[in-house]
Chains A and B, each alone.
Chain A
Amino acid sequence: MKTVIGLEIHTQLSTETKAFCSCKNDVYAEVNTNICPVCTGQPGALPILNDQVVEYAIRAALSLECEIHEISSFDRKNYFYPDLPKGYQITQYFHPIATNGHVDLNNGKRIRIQRIHIEEDAGKMFHSSETITEARSSLVDLNRCGIPLIEIVTEPDMEKPEEAREFMEKLRDILRTIEVSTGNMEVGALRCDANVSIRDKERSSSRVEVKNINSFKFVQRALEYEIERITEVMKNGENVPQETRGWDSLTKSTVSMRSKEAENDYRYFPEPDLPILVISKERIDRIKKELPELPDEKAEKYEKTLGVTRDNAKILAKDKTLSKYFENAVASGLSAKDTSNWIVNEVLALFNSDSTEFNHERISIDNLKKIMDYTNSSKISRLVAKEVMAEVYKSGKDPDTIVRGKNLLQVSNENELISVVKEVIAENPDTVAKYKSGKTSVLGFFVGGVMKKTKGKADPKIVGKLIKQLLDDEN
């Protein structure tokens, strides 16, 4: 059995204005307020290409290693739907702006990108029931209508649902890094349709398209479900019809939307209202130069020149604000390796436990530095450090204030610790006996006891030394 997966991805570009009119690109505005004769399809209105769309599309295409075409053009995709005011969508069907790109997965596998083209989004519909056919009434909001999209079409180079998910996440990280899209799947700024087909020795299934996948997790879940479903159908010796299915995130399953026969004939033809799009070599070169470092390049740099572990490097390089945070911390004099561990293991853990996105203001570099300094100079233990950081994260208080206020400084003064150590030894005669009989591994038990009594403030190294001294002395 061999599974073949290809993706068609739509990304909303976060330009100031819409693709073909000067309305604001803002889906959150009050319904039907960002509209004009052009995006509502009034008679006589004409599209004007927003140059920022071209700029963003080139940026994306270059980041995905595509060939940019000096000449591309626009076409009309004709179909009727109430959220499509003109009765056609302006897209690039015959001559897309870019082709032949790729993204490399972490396992080294190359996923080729067939094409990238510019198009416009449709409006948004609100039905009084689940679907338009059941609904007694439907409302249309045209704020979204005309928002620029790029469609990215991959070759069918993926074999596993995890690969599709990784591809999508990498794509999101790239789009965010180059600041062309929020890459937010949950709100539809990034959408993914997956084509899947399965082949065994004798035969192969038809291609099934899965739509409505609205999160990264569901990219994987929907494909897993669909692969299982197709495999099952094939096992039973039945035919897998070519069709479009929709992912239902409530039932965690796919449902048939339409068969191949019911597909629209979109009657593509060149858009006569827009001249061909000419992109100069100079412009491509300029944009190439202005591109920020992409996540994979950055990760490699962290690994090779800063000595950060590969896993940490990948995590830190993914997100622009995070990598900037890391780089600023290193620039402030902190050790790269140490800092990377702190950020990945401690800082990100706090955000993850809240399932919120990283925000450098919650734990400023100054505060991170202070906590790291306290720990590295053994003024507080790693355990206390975690507590302090959680407190900073929660209240935004200064670590100094927290450490002082809660009296958390590590006790490394032997005179202060000796009485506690003695106490613990006195309370555990059985364990003392074990030690004396040669079981030196129980030393940790005594250290733990002291740490508990001092609420983590004791310096474990010194405690260990003292315990050993006292027990050995008794001999």
Chain B
Amino acid sequence: MLFKKSVEGLIEAIKHRELSEEEVIEYFVKRSSKLNSKLKAFLSTCKIKKGKGFLSGIPFAIKDNMQLENMKTTCGSRILEDYGSTYTATAVQKILNMGATVLGKTNLDEFAMGSSTEYSAFFPTKNPWDVERVPGGSSGGSAAAVAAGLVPFALGSDTGGSVRQPASFCGIVGYKPTYGLVSRYGLSAFASSLDQIGPLTKTVRDAAIIGKTIMGIDPNDATTVDKKIDLIDKIESNVEGMRLAVPVEFMKDLNQNVKNTFKKFIEDVKRLGVEVEEVPIPSLKYAVAVYYVIAPAEASSNLSRYDGIRYGLRVEEDSVAGIYNQTRDKGFGSEVKRRIMLGTFTLSAAYYDAYFDKAQKVRTKIKSEMDEVLESYDAIVGPTTPVTAFKFGEISNPLDYYLQDIYTIPANLAGLPSVSVPMGLIDNLPIGVQITSKRFEDAKVLRIARSYEKIRGEFPMPIGGELK
């Protein structure tokens, strides 16, 4: 039952010579190749090991929007279907340096734009709890791979909830560090001011261990900060006396099942001596709107480089404009096109003030309101997602689809650390609770999550790790 082990558990087993590094890797290679045909979590597989360190013998997977030299990095898009990376992302390199082995690159919504992997240009990934349902997204491949025990941990990227939302849907831990703690160098940009790489793991301790490994200022990413945070150090300390805020806005319109599960969470943490109060954060109601102005605007610019000139798909035409038009028409899927159009519109000279500029102002407002609440409370908590995993094709209206990220988006807009931890099952589908705190209070976020995890008890894996 190696697949049930956490990263820490595997490290211990190797250390005590219960298992060799090779045995662990081979076990997961075999398990991955067996289960992936059902889950379709991977876009490509490999076995790449570079360094030696405390993660030697630990396999992992990375979302296919992170560069890994000499491997394809498709971003889930036709336009990069055959694109070979020329370098390795900093966060990935840091894990490789510690001796871990990459077993594959995981599926995602095209360019991380989506919440279900249904927008992957290649195929959707299935939720290991119910293969009729989505794993969430956009890091759905990474979440499914960890939840089903294909790898003990994976890296995802979180722009509006893309690590936390699939973690919630798949019953695992998903952690988005404070913006600037983890280098984005080598992460194919979706929305640069929101993107952040984070780990998907089975336990909060694992999230802290991997988080600590990938953090740090990077000379290749000017938005990283020089801040040393020990995520492990105080993770077991108690949280008695802490105060948690539940935004009133999160509780409105919440369905009864989720409400009940969350109530159970509140009761649990109260037993830890934590106070929980409902607090209004009025500007949160604009978060989704603001996000869908800013993220597409940045994306429309970030995706301009995929023009068929230097690399990637190229549809030959008689004129340069023809090459651009045809390449981008054939290369991008509908959701990506929708967002490029949105972003191009909101940045255009005639609408910049009305949309982009105004959205920036509201973003600042959201940030300051959240900061203000976090002056009196240790963290903001709520369900990670408004619902559990939905069925493929169930949500077809883009506006309804965008509401999947309603609770996760604020942390990205404000650059705050946020973690999703499984809090229960509804009709045998997992759902997570989200804990968010001040910038650079990542250790606190994980400490609260860890305290809750202990009182919650072990969270089950989907049907003993096998598939329904």
Quick one: given A43-B80, A44-B66, A82-B320, are A275 and B304 in contact (CB under 8 Å)?
A: no
Other-chain contact of B309, A43, A48, A140 (Cβ < 8 Å): A140
Tell me which of A44, A133, A268 has the highest count of chain B C-beta atoms within 10 A of its own C-beta.
A44
Chain A interface: which of B30-38, B219-227, B235-243, B277-285? Answer: B219-227
A439 to chain B, nearest CB (A): 81
Instruction: Give the CA-CA distance A418 to B83 in the complex, in Å.
Output: 94
Quick one: given A82-B320, A269-B352, are A48 and B220 in contact (CB under 8 Å)?
A: yes
Whether a CB of chain A sits under 8 angstroms from the CB of B319 is yes
Whether a CB of chain A sits under 8 angstroms from the CB of B172 is no
Chain B 207-242, CB-CB to A under 8 Å as 1, else 0, gives 000000000000111110000000000000000000
B203 to chain A, nearest CB (A): 29
Other-chain contact of A43, B75, B191, B222, B307 (Cβ < 8 Å): B75
- B309 near A82 (CB under 8 angstroms)? yes
Chain A residues in 8 Å Cβ range of B307: 80, 82, 87
Chain B interface: which of A34-42, A302-310, A424-432? Answer: A34-42
Whether a CB of chain A sits under 8 angstroms from the CB of B451 is no
A311 to chain B, nearest CB (A): 49
Whether a CB of chain B sits under 8 angstroms from the CB of A265 is yes
B342 to chain A, nearest CB (A): 12
- A46 near B220 (CB under 8 angstroms)? yes
Chain A 80-101, CB-CB to B under 8 Å as 1, else 0, gives 1010011110000000000000
Instruction: Give the CA-CA distance A82 to B352 in the complex, in Å.
Output: 26
- B344 near A267 (CB under 8 angstroms)? yes
- B309 near A274 (CB under 8 angstroms)? no
B216 to chain A, nearest CB (A): 15
Other-chain contact of B222, A41, A48, A133 (Cβ < 8 Å): A48
Tell me which of A48, A88, A140, A269 has the highest count of chain B C-beta atoms within 10 A of its own C-beta.
A269
Chain A 8-48, CB-CB to B under 8 Å as 1, else 0, gives 00000000000000000000000000000100111111111
Instruction: Give the CA-CA distance A35 to B187 in the complex, in Å.
Output: 20
Other-chain contact of B304, A42, A80, A272 (Cβ < 8 Å): A80
- A265 near B301 (CB under 8 angstroms)? no
Chain B residues in 8 Å Cβ range of A45: 87, 185-186
Other-chain contact of A44, B67, B219, B298 (Cβ < 8 Å): B67
Chain A 67-120 residues near chain B, CB threshold 8 A: 76, 78, 80, 82, 85-88
Chain B residues in 8 Å Cβ range of A49: 222
Q: Which partner residue on chain A sits nearest B183 by CB separation?
A: A46
Instruction: Give the CA-CA distance A268 to B353 in the complex, in Å.
Output: 11
B75 to chain A, nearest CB (A): 7
Q: Which partner residue on chain B sits nearest A78 by CB separation?
A: B301
Instruction: Give the CA-CA distance A274 to B184 in the complex, in Å.
Output: 12
- B347 near A269 (CB under 8 angstroms)? yes
- A37 near B301 (CB under 8 angstroms)? no
Whether a CB of chain A sits under 8 angstroms from the CB of B324 is yes
Instruction: Give the CA-CA distance A49 to B220 in the complex, in Å.
Output: 10
- B86 near A37 (CB under 8 angstroms)? yes
- A42 near B222 (CB under 8 angstroms)? no
Whether a CB of chain B sits under 8 angstroms from the CB of A273 is yes
Q: Which partner residue on chain A sits nearest B111 by CB separation?
A: A43
A268 to chain B, nearest CB (A): 8
Whether a CB of chain B sits under 8 angstroms from the CB of A132 is yes
Chain A 378-422, CB-CB to B under 8 Å as 1, else 0, gives 000000000000000000000000000000000000000000000
Chain B residues in 8 Å Cβ range of A42: 67, 86-87, 311
Quick one: given A46-B222, A49-B222, are A40 and B310 in contact (CB under 8 Å)?
A: yes
- B189 near A44 (CB under 8 angstroms)? yes
B-side binding surface: helix, strand, loop or mixed? Answer: loop
Whether a CB of chain A sits under 8 angstroms from the CB of B11 is no
Whether a CB of chain A sits under 8 angstroms from the CB of B399 is no
We find that the number of chain A residues with CB closer than 8 angstroms to chain B is 31
- B222 near A275 (CB under 8 angstroms)? yes
Whether a CB of chain A sits under 8 angstroms from the CB of B73 is yes
Tell me which of A43, A76, A132 has the highest count of chain B C-beta atoms within 10 A of its own C-beta.
A43
Whether a CB of chain A sits under 8 angstroms from the CB of B45 is no
Instruction: Give the CA-CA distance A316 to B36 in the complex, in Å.
Output: 78
Chain A 111-144, CB-CB to B under 8 Å as 1, else 0, gives 0000000000000000000001100001010000
Chain B residues in 8 Å Cβ range of A78: 300-301, 304, 347
Instruction: Give the CA-CA distance A82 to B307 in the complex, in Å.
Output: 8
B182 to chain A, nearest CB (A): 13
Chain B residues in 8 Å Cβ range of A48: 219-222
Chain B residues in 8 Å Cβ range of A140: 309-310
B263 to chain A, nearest CB (A): 39
Chain A residues in 8 Å Cβ range of B221: 46, 48, 273
Chain B 179-204, CB-CB to A under 8 Å as 1, else 0, gives 00000111111011100000000000
A272 to chain B, nearest CB (A): 4
B interface, size bucket: 35 or more
Whether a CB of chain A sits under 8 angstroms from the CB of B348 is yes
Instruction: Give the CA-CA distance A49 to B219 in the complex, in Å.
Output: 10
B355 to chain A, nearest CB (A): 11
Chain A residues in 8 Å Cβ range of B185: 44-46
Q: Which partner residue on chain A sits nearest B75 by CB separation?
A: A43
Instruction: Give the CA-CA distance A78 to B301 in the complex, in Å.
Output: 7
Q: Which partner residue on chain A sits nearest B73 by CB separation?
A: A43
Whether a CB of chain A sits under 8 angstroms from the CB of B175 is no
A240 to chain B, nearest CB (A): 24
Instruction: Give the CA-CA distance A272 to B356 in the complex, in Å.
Output: 13
Quick one: given A269-B352, A273-B222, are A44 and B188 in contact (CB under 8 Å)?
A: yes
Instruction: Give the CA-CA distance A383 to B303 in the complex, in Å.
Output: 71
Chain A residues in 8 Å Cβ range of B301: 76, 78, 87-88, 267, 269
Other-chain contact of A265, B65, B324, B349 (Cβ < 8 Å): B349
Chain B residues in 8 Å Cβ range of A87: 301, 303-305, 307
Chain B residues in 8 Å Cβ range of A41: 305, 310
A144 to chain B, nearest CB (A): 15
Chain B residues in 8 Å Cβ range of A133: 319
Other-chain contact of B187, A44, A88, A265 (Cβ < 8 Å): A44
Whether a CB of chain A sits under 8 angstroms from the CB of B100 is no
Chain A residues in 8 Å Cβ range of B305: 41, 43, 85-87
Q: Which partner residue on chain B sits nearest A43 by CB separation?
A: B188
Instruction: Give the CA-CA distance A398 to B320 in the complex, in Å.
Output: 61
Quick one: given A86-B304, A87-B305, A273-B192, are A43 and B320 in contact (CB under 8 Å)?
A: no
Chain B residues in 8 Å Cβ range of A274: 222-223
Instruction: Give the CA-CA distance A44 to B38 in the complex, in Å.
Output: 31
Instruction: Give the CA-CA distance A272 to B73 in the complex, in Å.
Output: 23
Instruction: Give the CA-CA distance A143 to B403 in the complex, in Å.
Output: 45
Chain B 296-317, CB-CB to A under 8 Å as 1, else 0, gives 0110110111010111000000
Chain A residues in 8 Å Cβ range of B189: 43-44, 273
A48 to chain B, nearest CB (A): 5
Instruction: Give the CA-CA distance A78 to B307 in the complex, in Å.
Output: 13
Instruction: Give the CA-CA distance A450 to B385 in the complex, in Å.
Output: 109
Whether a CB of chain A sits under 8 angstroms from the CB of B336 is no
Other-chain contact of B186, A44, A80, A132 (Cβ < 8 Å): A44
Instruction: Give the CA-CA distance A138 to B347 in the complex, in Å.
Output: 31
Chain A residues in 8 Å Cβ range of B83: 43
A71 to chain B, nearest CB (A): 16
B45 to chain A, nearest CB (A): 20
- A273 near B188 (CB under 8 angstroms)? no
Instruction: Give the CA-CA distance A273 to B224 in the complex, in Å.
Output: 10
Chain A residues in 8 Å Cβ range of B356: 269
Instruction: Give the CA-CA distance A87 to B340 in the complex, in Å.
Output: 13
- A272 near B298 (CB under 8 angstroms)? yes
- A269 near B222 (CB under 8 angstroms)? no
- A residues near B (Cβ < 8 Å) are 37, 40-49, 76, 78, 80, 82, 85-88, 132-133, 138, 140, 265, 267-269, 272-275
Given pairs A48-B221, A85-B309, A268-B347, 14 additional interface contacts (CB within 8 A): A43-B73, A44-B67, A45-B186, A47-B222, A80-B304, A86-B304, A86-B305, A87-B303, A87-B305, A132-B320, A140-B310, A265-B348, A267-B301, A273-B221
Q: Name 8 interchain pairs, CB-CB below 8 A, sorted by A.
A: A41-B305, A42-B86, A43-B188, A44-B184, A44-B186, A44-B187, A78-B347, A275-B222
